[in-house]
Structure 1
């Protein structure tokens, strides 16, 4: 045990402090020093304590119990609860101070009102509760940020892309997602993260198209604030993403000199916050997305080859929406239902509008389709959305007539039956019940059931 030595500069001294309750006794148990507030717990003035024996004070039940005899006996720090003459509880700590011979020369004790400690304890409980609530909110926010509602995989192209994603997810390797804006790259990145071994870690996005070059280092690496012991680290995206996934969006838009910095960090698997000299280890998975072919970008000296080979372990290509007609059909139905619920209404598409939406190119992909359907739900005044409800730029593309009907060699009854079967089949795919189908088609529900059976379509 470490030995301490106390040489009083005078005896019977009142210490000039109003903040702490400190009492010093010698080996005989005589109080030789006290602070000005020392007597408050016991209902007497501090001056009255000087020169008194703790044994006498204990006998008078002023100190109950006295801490000095316990420290002298055990020769180590002692903590106990004292009961004051008023019945209050005081937490008192006694510390031994040794002389050159290893004997206890002085005992210093300091005390706190237990009620104050209870207040602190209650504050700590409240703080702990608040922290747990914040953690729960962060957990909910993380879940919300990973939400992928509207995941549609009707087309072969989408199914094949997600099959590759699901195989790659458990393997902790870099993935690059290729596709036009709005093809669902962010949704796929979240799905890969959720199915990975890092699913309990954070999913952090870095958008290379929006981050200012001058802020790149600070945003990515973080920075040290202050100096010396008072310094702290303001975390960057790499720190926040530790143990999880860093999703680097539009990495093809990152300038070459910043690509070099990112490459160095990923290769060394460590980073140093700005202003700091202490490197931090890096434990993240990187998923990148690009709207252009990175291999061609390397050939054009717009992308570093070494970074390309580091990231492009698992490439996944997402086709534009115009090549995924099955997805377009399913997304129309999904968005129509979603926005009808959101705006507490019930809207349906006429066949002419539905077929027109299927034929459009959707150069803005899912973002454009979502926008158009939302506009139709909000702006249409009737339950059935017709051609007149379409925005002008889309309405101009409408062409009347059944241009896809083959008239050659068919009688009128056969042609009408083929049209009726197509209409019923289309309605069957879009609406959940025969009651909804009947309402849209303007016929009775039994007629819908009968016609479905006629054409052997599922009810």
Structure 2
């Protein structure tokens, strides 16, 4: 070989970014760049003139890519594991002379250790994410079971039928009604019954976000958009709801300037972060709710007419709890069981307390009921919740309703009928509250045989 050509070849191999090794037909190493063998834990200069077969036997090459090429006489690619703990990807190429005899093998090796570690970390991360997704789904299911749709009233049955029809669609829904009636529970139900159920459900209470922060919370911002902004920027709530559902509660509290931007997003399905120059695509299902008269707000110039029409595609009025007395019983039982389980308690409602809660008008609706029962379960030491444990408004209401009821009964002028009616009422309520006749006996302060006797005595009247 020409000396100058040899110098050029040696310099090319030495300075190459790839780790190159050249062997002859017997597997003897002729040339290689020094950095190559560092991966295998060898000192530079140790390898020239050595046989790859010897290095393979010593466990330095595991296996030898050049030996494999010599054996198979074709291009070979393998992953090697070195004694120093490295993972190396090697590719070997055969070189044939004019007569077709294999005279050289050239191999290239790349250290893949960091890449393999990253792949392992990525796989572990994927597993963790999958685990988190499972936990999120379980929490969603638990949340849905904690707040199921419970009703007996005719009005709620009709609303439920409407929800079942519209849930699979992407139509905008506007819930109307007083605060605390469970609009967020209904919004979650619609999301869970839609094709977007596995995507995010983002709930936003428009009345709790200060107007100065509303735009950044809803639309997010780019890095360095304003003083105090996060260096990495921030996704807005609308962006987080992409492919899922966004529920805007108390939509009547939305500032007018935000109404304009929300309308633009609904029309174009695009938005700009604060400080951003590139519009971002977004796709979500919109559900809104309010306890205000939006039509009146439109007339007063407090709410945009075009946005009102966008939101008011399927308006659904949810009656207050006092308008659907039939639902109070089932809701009381549900929240009492739920909260007892949550706090490992076994509290019960005394029949007089139960009467009071049934007759109460519940101005705070379902939210007030849940909060009251939670307070009672946590603060009352006795297992039986008595009327005296309740706030003044409840007891005052009880006195009024009890007097009216007593007056109606007294007017019958038949003591036997009055006593039978009272017994039937008490037995009926105990039957609703208790699971066994023993619990009913404790509930009413009677013996278990007496309970059985009275249940048989009033069997026909109780079944009615």
TM-score tier (shorter): 0.7 to 0.9
Aligned to 1:152: 150
Specify the SS of the correspondent of 1:66: helix
264-273 or 420-429: which moved more?
420-429
Which residue number in structure 2 is paired with residue 91 of structure 1? 89
Report what 1:79 is aligned to.
77
What is the rounded CA distance, in whole Å, between the counterparts of 1:8 and 1:298 in structure 2? Answer: 87
Partner of 1:414: 417
The yes-or-no answer on 1:22 pairing with 2:19 is yes
Please tell me whether residue 250 in structure 1 is matched to residue 250 in structure 2: yes
Q: Within the alignment, does 1:390 sit opposite 2:387 as a pair?
A: no
Decide whether the 8 Å contact of 1:22 with 1:34 is kept in 2: yes
State yes or no: 1:357 paired with 2:362: no
Distance in 2 of aligned mates of 1:379 and 1:296: 43
- Distance in 2 between the 1:95 and 1:218 partners? 58
Show the 5 A alignment for 1:140-289. Answer: 140-149=138-147, 151-225=149-223, 234-289=234-289
Which ranges in structure 1 are unaligned for 5 or more consecutive residues?
A: 1-6, 97-105
Rounded Cα–Cα distance in structure 2 between residues aligned with 1:127 and 1:373: 42
Aligned-pair CA distance for 1:266: 0.6
Deviation at 1:41, TM superposition (A): 5.0
Root-mean-square deviation (CA, aligned residues, Å) is: 4.1
Aligned residues: 431
> Separation in 1 of the partners of 2:9 and 2:435?
95
After superposition, the C-alpha distances for 1:66-124 in whole angstroms (9 at most, x for unaligned) are: 39978xx87x8x6335698999984324699xxxxxxxxx968233377x776555444
Q: Is the 8 A contact 1:221 1:274 kept in 2?
A: yes
Task: Give the aligned partner of residue 458 of structure 1.
Answer: 463
Cα 1:343–1:82 change in 2 (3 A) is closer
Q: Identify the residue that residue 295 of structure 2 maps to in structure 1.
A: 295
- Cα distance in structure 1, aligned partners of 2:256 and 2:82: 74
Q: What TM-score comes out, normalization by structure 2 length?
A: 0.78
2:410 partner SS: coil
The answer as to whether partners of 1:248 and 1:287 remain within 8 angstroms in 2 is: yes
| CA 66–224 in structure 1, closer or farther in 2 if over 3 Å, else same | farther
How many angstroms apart in 2 are the aligned matches of 1:301 and 1:86? 75
Deviation readout 1:374-395 (Å, 9 max, x if unpaired): 2333333333322322234533
| Alignment-derived partner of residue 375 in structure 2 | 375
Matches within 5 A, 1:310-349: 310-349=310-349
* Equivalent residues of 2:173, 2:313 under 8 A apart: yes
Change (3 A) 1:49 1:414: closer
Residues 284-312 of structure 1: CA deviation (Å, up to 9, x unaligned): 11110101121222111111111111111
Preserved contact between residue 246 and residue 287 of structure 2 (Cα < 8 Å): yes
Q: Aligned pair in 2 of structure 1 residues 441, 402: CA closer, same or farther (>3 Å)?
A: farther
**TM-score, normalising length from structure 1?**
0.79
Conserved 8 A contact 1:223-1:273: yes
User: CA contact under 8 A between 1:22 and 1:110: conserved in structure 2?
Assistant: yes
| In structure 2, distance between residues paired with 1:245 and 1:298 | 26
